[in-house]
Amino acid sequence: MRTLFIGGTGNISKACTDRALEKGMEVFHLNRGNKPSPWGKSVVSIKADIRDVEGVKKALHGLHFDTVVQFLAYRPEQVRADLDIFDDATDQYIFISTCSAYKKTLRNPVVTESTPLENPFWEYSRQKIACEKILAEEGAGKAFPYTIVRPSHTYDDGWIPSCFGSADFGLAWRILEGKRIIVPGDGQSIWTLTHASDFAVGLVGLFGQQGALGEAFHITSDERLTWDSIHMQIGAALGVEPKIAHIPSDYITRIVPERGAGLKGDKAVSAEFDNSKIKRFVPEFIQKVRFSEGIRKSIAWYDRNPEMKIPNTALNQEIETILSYWDKAWAILP
Ligand SMILES: NC(=O)c1ccc[n+]([C@@H]2O[C@H](COP(=O)([O-])OP(=O)(O)OC[C@H]3O[C@@H](n4cnc5c(N)ncnc54)[C@H](OP(=O)(O)O)[C@@H]3O)[C@@H](O)[C@H]2O)c1
201 and 295 both lie in a single domain: no
Consecutive H or E run containing 154: strand 154-155
Nearest alpha carbon, ligand 1 atom 3: 153
Taking the C-alpha atoms of residue 328 and residue 179, their distance in angstroms, rounded to an integer, is 18
Taking the C-alpha atoms of residue 262 and residue 146, their distance in angstroms, rounded to an integer, is 27
Domain boundary among 219, 234, 262: 219
User: Mutate which of 29, 43, 46, 71 to test ligand 1's pocket (most atoms within 8 Å of Cβ)?
Assistant: 71
Closest atom of ligand 1 to 96 CA is 45
Torsion of the alpha carbons at 308, 313, 315 and 317, rounded to the nearest 10: 160
Domain boundary among 178, 204, 219: 219
129 and 149 both lie in a single domain: yes
72 and 205 both lie in a single domain: yes
Question: Is residue 94 a contact partner of residue 206, using CB atoms and an 8 Å limit?
Answer: yes
Structure confidence by residue, pLDDT tens digits, 142-198: 899 999 999 999 999 999 999 988 999 999 999 999 999 999 999 999 999 999 999
pTM: 0.97
In a domain, 37, yes or no: yes
Structure confidence by residue, pLDDT tens digits, 49-79: 999 999 999 999 999 999 999 999 999 999 9
Number of compact structural domains in the chain: 2
229 and 266 both lie in a single domain: yes
Angle, helix 227-238 to helix 291-304, in steps of 10 degrees: 40
Q: Please give the distance, rounded to the nearest whole angstrom, from the Cα atom of residue 18 to the centre of ligand 1.
A: 16
In a domain, 283, yes or no: no
Q: How many CB atoms lie within 10 A of CB 177?
A: 10
The rounded Cα 167 to chain-centroid distance in angstroms is 10
165 and 120 both lie in a single domain: no
In a domain, 94, yes or no: yes
Nearest alpha carbon, ligand 1 atom 18: 10
Taking the C-alpha atoms of residue 28 and residue 42, their distance in angstroms, rounded to an integer, is 9
CATH number at residue 35: 3.40.50.720
Boundaries of domain holding 178: 159-192+223-270+290-331
63 and 201 both lie in a single domain: yes
Taking the C-alpha atoms of residue 44 and residue 63, their distance in angstroms, rounded to an integer, is 12
In a domain, 280, yes or no: no
Residue ranges lining ligand 1, Cβ < 6 Å: 7-13, 31-35, 49-51, 71-72, 96, 98, 151, 153-154
Structure confidence by residue, pLDDT tens digits, 312-327: 999 999 999 999 999 9
In a domain, 277, yes or no: no
212 and 265 both lie in a single domain: no
Question: Is residue 208 a contact partner of residue 178, using CB atoms and an 8 Å limit?
Answer: no
163 and 27 both lie in a single domain: no
Predicted confidence (pLDDT) at residue 106 exceeds the cutoff of 70:
no
Q: Please give the distance, rounded to the nearest whole angstrom, from the Cα atom of residue 37 to the centre of ligand 1.
A: 15
140 and 248 both lie in a single domain: no
In a domain, 243, yes or no: yes
11 and 51 both lie in a single domain: yes
Structure confidence by residue, pLDDT tens digits, 187-217: 999 999 999 999 999 999 999 999 999 999 9
204 and 234 both lie in a single domain: no
Which of 202, 210, 83 is CA-nearest to residue 138? 83
pLDDT confidence bin for 107, thresholds 50/70/90: confident
In a domain, 235, yes or no: yes
Which of 235, 246, 132, 125 is CA-nearest to residue 188? 246
Whole-angstrom CA distances from 312 to 27, 165, 258 are: 35, 9, 17
Structure confidence by residue, pLDDT tens digits, 259-306: 999 999 999 999 899 999 999 999 999 999 999 999 999 999 999 999
In a domain, 31, yes or no: yes
Closest atom of ligand 1 to 16 CA is 16
CATH number at residue 227: 3.90.25
Q: How many CB atoms lie within 10 A of CB 258?
A: 8
Domain boundary among 181, 203, 219: 219
Consecutive H or E run containing 151: strand 146-151
265 and 201 both lie in a single domain: no
